[in-house]
């Protein structure tokens, strides 16, 4: 595959695996990077390659570089990717990109944080319904 079809994902927890599955379905070559035991991901069909971040050197072959939540911002692989001019992206970047592609006039409300997301989401949903908006 060409570099235009290579995606690297650093951090292969729930979010990283979801990203890998999505990009695999879009016919991208997905390179999974994780500091943990890579053997636990070998049964996952959506990874083209599984590589320890310390051993990964092919940044110039990448089109995109995604990072999962919880990966420290000073992780050496993030710094390397930046040095190669890659934009560091996450699942929210992808969600926004897809929303803009599929329904650019739609409005987005992002709710993040450790506590209170479900309550805040319900509250905002009710406010929008009362105001006559489709939710």
Give 3's pLDDT tier (boundaries 50, 70, 90).
Answer: low
Residue range 83-112, pLDDT digits in tens: 999 999 999 999 999 999 999 888 888 888
Name the DSSP letter for residue 87. Answer: P
Buried/exposed code over 5-32 (b: 16+ C-beta within 10 A; e: otherwise): bbbbbbbbeebbbebbebbbeeebbbbb
Name the DSSP letter for residue 111. Answer: -
**How far, in whole angstroms, is CA 25 from its chain's centroid?**
14
Tell me the C-alpha distance between 23 and 16, whole Å.
11
């Amino acid at each position: 595959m060409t570099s235009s079809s290579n995606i690297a994902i650093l951090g292969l927890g729930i979010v990283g695996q979801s990203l890998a599955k999505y990009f695999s379905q879009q016919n991208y070559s997905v390179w999974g990077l994780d500091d943990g035991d890579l053997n636990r991901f070998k049964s996952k069909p959506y990874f083209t390659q599984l590589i320890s971040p310390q051993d990964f050197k092919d940044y110039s072959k990448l089109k995109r570089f995604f990072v999962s939540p919880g990966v420290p911002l000073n992780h050496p692989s993030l710094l390397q990717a930046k040095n190669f001019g890659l934009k560091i992206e996450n699942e929210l970047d992808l969600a926004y990109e897809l929303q803009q592609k599929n329904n650019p006039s739609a409005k987005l409300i992002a709710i993040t944080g450790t506590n209170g997301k479900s309550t805040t989401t319900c509250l905002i949903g009710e406010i929008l319904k009362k105001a006559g908006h489709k939710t």
